[in-house]
Structure 1
Amino acid sequence: MQGKYYIGLMSGTSADGIDLALVDFTSKNEKPRLVASFYQSYSSVLAEKITSLYQPGNNEIDRAFHLDVELAHLFAQAINALLSQENLNSADIIAIGSHGQTIRHRPSADNPFTLQIGCCQTLATVTGIRVVGQFRRKDMALGGQGAPLVPIFHQQLFAHSVDANFVVNIGGIANITFLPEQGSSKSVLGFDTGPGNALLDDWFTKNHSSSNEKFDKSGAWAATGKVNQALLIQLMQDDYIKAAAPKSTGREYFHLDWLEQQLTFFTENSYSQHGAITDEELNAVDVQATLLVFTAQSICDAIKSLTTQGKVYLCGGGVHNSALVEALKTSLNTSNSAFEINSMQALNIDGDILEAMAFAWLAYAFDHSLVSNMPAVTGASASCTLGSTYLP
């Protein structure tokens, strides 16, 4: 194979932009080395095009596959910008590992499917670089959830650790990877715990329509509200939150309509019990405060169901929400548990680019015929090498 580096490309369910990681896998200590990274934000118009496809809607096939090609061109522009930044050209790249943009993920349907757009063939042709993509489909063909895919990469990063470690990625959806302590009989596990930033962002945007901000920066707004315990209990009773792993979800499940339904049910239930809703009436900021604790508690309950002590490393956009991080610390460290909580920066790893690095590794694994799914994580019937290749 010509070239020296792999590029990993990730666009998450928050639909905020493109993360690129330039990775070298020739290091003598066998650990991947992040050479450079690049981020390209999406315009509000493009973000709306993406998020409008999370739910069935009018003319969605035309809209989805126009966007499929549009995103491929945007991915190519971002890759060319990264190459220019590093004074490289296409010949220096072995392959692009592209996750693409998930717009629908239905692992529990009668005929399970997943759809990531950002046409791999277009991307390969426009950049002149081979692309490895569509990583989720073979795992799903083997009966798996097709997600999460990154735990096997996390296992590489923590190969020499003796402690129990968790990697908690808080994107639009939150997911965890559990890496048992050395010598343990437990298996590596990983699954989506529920919402990460998704509901917080949606509710903030709904109630700040005139703001330039699309998210609650550092959780400042949520911090001024009061948690409604009755609503929190109701949210924690959601079928997905209570379901056992393997499981995965997405913005097609946890979205604003889901939240509105929860709030309607809460109000109606309060009225039926009390004959009035004055005591339970919710204002917007209290809903935000409750959503923040709901997000933290759903993550923490998943962690504590696996062990009562260990090291927790946070990554993803949610790391920058200081109120959420404090809620996680409060919920994790109780009289019955003891966890050390850090960001991935504590390991000299940029947590904002970790998932993009994982997709560079998945392309590397494809080229070297390495097993890259984990049946214990996804529920697939067999181990396999994930991905398909697209030539320029």
Structure 2
Amino acid sequence: MNSVYLGLISGTSADGVDACAVSFDEHHQPQQHGALTLAYDPELRQTIFTVQERNMSLHELGQLDTRIGEYFASAAIQLMRTLSIDSASIVAIGSHGQTLLHRPDCSYPYSLQLGNPSLIAERTQTTTVAHFRQKDIAAGGQGAPLVPAFHHAWLGHLHNTALLNLGGIANLSLWDQASPPTLEGFDSGPANSLIDAWCSRHLQQAYDNDGQWARRGQIDTALLARLLKHEYFHQRPPKSTHIDQFSIQWLDEVLASAARVNPQDVAATLVELTAVSVQQALQQSSVTVERVIACGGGCRNSLMMERIARRLGEVKLEVCDSYGISADWVEAVAFAWLAQQTLGKRIGNVPSVTGARHGCILGGIFYP
């Protein structure tokens, strides 16, 4: 294996650290060598989700940064051992970190990711690139989504295409067949995070396996209409969001103003919310697409995929597995690619996506 990079990320579902080993050819096409997920301890996952409610002290925040960093380093080390490679075989690690807060539109904009990259570099003895969002925000951008640059480098030969990531939050990358292409990307709204939180409350399970519980419910059209009144759905891109805007507390507030809805019906309605918000996002875009290629954990929820496909109509819905990367690892591969871009002093953001004033070399480099 030559020129191997590791990508590390824990997404908005905060279920653990995804680690992927990958190399890229001169056309940016990835070759995946191996991957794994190191699950978070349930108590740590709960801490991440409740950090705002708890009014966490600076001391606790510092400890959490170190604790998450240890998880990220352990995921990288476990993957290296599984593949029987050492740090000398790895060019660099690209670590997204764990997002706690994302506030690109406040008076002093910021995006906060934990997972101490100095600790990752030290534990793994591998150069680590991290803090990707901050430079884009400094240049006036949203700091997210950053993955459209990789999505287009990987699949740009497919014209009039959208790549849909169904993580905790759903996001889209879209491009046409023009030369140069029009490239857009933004978060469309909630995907797994809100459904997972509802499932955790009512089933004491981390998620609704394959959408089986929600499938037995009925979509409540009145509730769906109230959910779609969230101001985020009516904002124009560039835009990005985080799970705190679509939290279980927000859902409770909406439910409190309505007639009682059966929990299973709420679950079915939340799946439909994802499908409708994806449909509306595609309609808002200036790019008309012929196919949507899906990745992320939501691909493994057959009900969610069915509802999205129905909303897309004649637009073809596929899963990215047939394009060289498993749907579970696309985001980790993207940050490995962004690390390669940074070390090569190449631009990693897309100003038309994030709203930044110019293209930027992203991230900071942390040496072992």
Query: Normalising to structure 1: TM-score of the pair?
Result: 0.90
Aligned to 1:252, the other structure's residue is in SS state: helix
Q: Does 1:354 align with 2:352?
A: no
Counterpart in the other structure of 1:253? 245
Q: CA deviation at 1:246?
A: 0.5
Aligned to 1:144, the other structure's residue is in SS state: coil
Distance in 2 (CA, whole Å) between partners of 1:154 and 1:260 is 35
Q: Does 1:51 align with 2:49?
A: yes
Distance in 2 (CA, whole Å) between partners of 1:234 and 1:330 is 21
Counterpart in the other structure of 1:77? 74
Matches within 5 A, 1:218-367: 218-265=210-257, 267=258, 280-306=259-285, 307-333=287-313, 338-367=314-343
The structure with the largest alpha-carbon Rg is 1
Query: Normalising to structure 2: TM-score of the pair?
Result: 0.96
Distance in 2 (CA, whole Å) between partners of 1:28 and 1:246 is 30
Query: Is the Cα contact below 8 Å between 1:304 and 1:332 reproduced in 2?
Result: no
Q: Does 1:123 align with 2:120?
A: yes
Greater Cα offset, 58-67 or 84-93: 58-67
CA deviation digits over 1:152-191, x for unaligned, max 9?
0001112322x211100011111000021x2267620000
Query: Is the Cα contact below 8 Å between 1:9 and 1:99 reproduced in 2?
Result: yes
Counterpart in the other structure of 2:166? 170
Matching residue within 136, 139, 144 for 2:133 = 136
Query: Is the Cα contact below 8 Å between 2:160 and 2:288 reproduced in 1?
Result: no
Query: Is the Cα contact below 8 Å between 2:30 and 2:324 reproduced in 1?
Result: no
Aligned to 1:101, the other structure's residue is in SS state: strand
Query: Is the Cα contact below 8 Å between 1:308 and 1:339 reproduced in 2?
Result: no
Q: Which runs of 5+ in 1 are unaligned?
A: 268-279
- What amino acid is the match of 1:299? V
Query: Is the Cα contact below 8 Å between 2:117 and 2:128 reproduced in 1?
Result: yes
Aligned to 2:84, the other structure's residue is in SS state: coil
Q: In structure 2, do the counterparts of structure 1 residues 315 and 122 end up closer, same or farther at CA, with 3 Å as the change threshold?
A: same
Aligned to 2:244, the other structure's residue is in SS state: coil
Aligned to 2:224, the other structure's residue is in SS state: helix
Aligned to 2:187, the other structure's residue is in SS state: strand
Matching residue within 84, 93, 96 for 1:96 = 93
Q: Which runs of 5+ in 2 are unaligned?
A: none
Count of matched residue pairs: 366
Identity within the alignment, %: 38
Question: After TM superposition, what 4+ stretches of structure 1 lie above 6 angstroms from structure 2?
Answer: none
Query: Is the Cα contact below 8 Å between 1:72 and 1:119 reproduced in 2?
Result: yes
Counterpart in the other structure of 1:380? 356
Counterpart in the other structure of 2:201? 206
Distance in 1 (CA, whole Å) between partners of 2:140 and 2:179 is 27
